[in-house]
Amino acid sequence: MLCLMGTSRSTGRTIYVKTWFEQPARKMRRYTVRKDNAMKIFPRPTAGPLCPITRGQTVKYNMKAKAGRGFSLEELKAGDSSPEEFAAATQAPSSYMPVVAEKPTVGLVKPTERETLQC
């Protein structure tokens, strides 16, 4: 008969092992609850300022969209800007928009007698 040594010490640990078999079910439950809650409060109430979606300026950050600085709902309803101010706020279309760099012209020059003798 073969006797296994040291097996008596490892029998009591199995009651302390934590299993994660319910992890996929928890994920689905959180997803459905989040979706139901979003449908319930659909036109989301805006507590703070209404922020436009903006992007970063550099190549590193221009893929990320974030909430920019905005106006509160009361400021938008007040509408204290006149039509003249709106007309002045538009972009001025003129020759300096957009900036275009002029390319230098390169011409051909015939070599002189002195330059041909040096070669």
Higher pLDDT, 31 or 5: 31
102 or 49, higher pLDDT:
102
pLDDT at 10: 64
pTM for this predicted structure: 0.32
Helix (H) or strand (E) holding 10: none
Q: Which residue has the higher pLDDT, 80 or 114?
A: 114
User: What distance separates the 2 farthest-apart alpha carbons in the chain?
Assistant: 111
Model confidence at 117: pLDDT above 60:
yes
Residue type, 73: L
E strands in the chain:
53-55, 65-67
Question: pLDDT per residue over 24-80, tens digit each?
Answer: 999 999 999 999 988 887 766 556 667 778 888 899 988 988 888 777 667 766 776
Residue 95's pLDDT is what?
A: 63
